[in-house]
A = this chain, B = another copy of it.
Amino acid sequence: MHLPQFICSVIRSVPVAFAMTPPLRVESPHLPGSRMTSIPLVEGNLPIRRLEISDHKKGFVELLGQLTVCPQLTESEFQVQFAEVAKLGESHCICVIEDPNTERIIATGSVFIEKKFIRGGSKVGHIEDVVVAKTARGLCLGQRMVKHLVDHAKATGCYKVVLACAPELREFYEKCGFEDKNVQMSVYF
């Protein structure tokens, strides 16, 4: 992988559960010898945008596979799920960062907005599925992504934003401004 590896305090704590390098696309525009013209990836120069339907071909699902169990979806399955999420508009915001050199998705995170009857009919943002590709760590992409999601929650009128993480990621999220508040409990079916 040809991404420069910048030192960043986040490097040890980006929330990636296990690593899998996204496969190179057959139609990669980066032929041997063309790398001199690629845009260097540095902190802050990569835009964060909403998930697009074309991101299925850009390795979005494979990237999630670095976080948890995530079998590939067919184009049709992806479109169905994309449409379901898109229906919710600003209430379910999935964001990505794309490497312009490889046209691969190298970071993602989401926030969905829960409408409440408490606090005068307020809202809570729930951050989920934050992951940075193993090959793109050290660029503070995780921290930027989390900040972006927090800002989205704030802009939509949330009184707080929450997330659940493994205890070893507590330090990373503290750097993002989060405080350890409660325990998360779960039932698996």
Chain A residues within 8 Å of B, Cβ to Cβ: 60-61, 64, 67-71, 73, 77-78, 80-81, 84-85, 92, 94, 112, 114-121, 124, 126, 128-129, 150, 154, 158-167, 170, 173-174, 176-189
Are A160 and B180 neighbours in the complex by a CB distance under 8 Å? no
Most buried by B among A112, A161, A184: A184
**Contacts of A181 on B, CB cut-off 8 Å?**
164, 184-186
Question: Is B117 in contact with A60, judged by CB distance below 8 angstroms?
Answer: yes
Q: Which residues of B contact A186 (CB under 8 A)?
A: 160-163, 178-179, 181-182
User: Contacts of A164 on B, CB cut-off 8 Å?
Assistant: 162, 164, 181-185
Q: Are B165 and A117 in contact (CB under 8 A)?
A: no
Cβ 8 A contact of A116, one of B60, B114, B129, B170: B129
> In chain B, what residue has the closest Cβ to A55?
B117
CB closest chain-B residue, reference A108: B117
| Complexed CA–CA distance, A43 and B106 (Å) | 52
Query: CB-nearest residue of chain B relative to A158?
Result: B189
Report the minimal beta-carbon distance from A41 to chain B, rounded to whole angstroms. Answer: 24
Q: Which residue of B lies closest to A174 (CB)?
A: B185
Q: List residues of chain B with CB within 8 A of the CB of A69.
A: 118-119
A174 partner residues in chain B, CB cutoff 8 A: 185
Q: List 9 A-B contacts (CB under 8 A).
A: A70-B117, A94-B117, A165-B182, A166-B182, A170-B185, A174-B185, A179-B185, A181-B185, A182-B186
Q: What is the distance, in angstroms, from A135's C-beta to the closest C-beta of chain B?
A: 20
Docked-complex contact B73 and A121, CB < 8 angstroms: yes
Question: Once the chains are docked, how many angstroms separate the CA of A64 from the CA of B163?
Answer: 22
Shortest distance in angstroms between A124's beta carbon and chain B's nearest beta carbon?
Answer: 8
A117, B64: Cβ atoms under 8 Å? yes
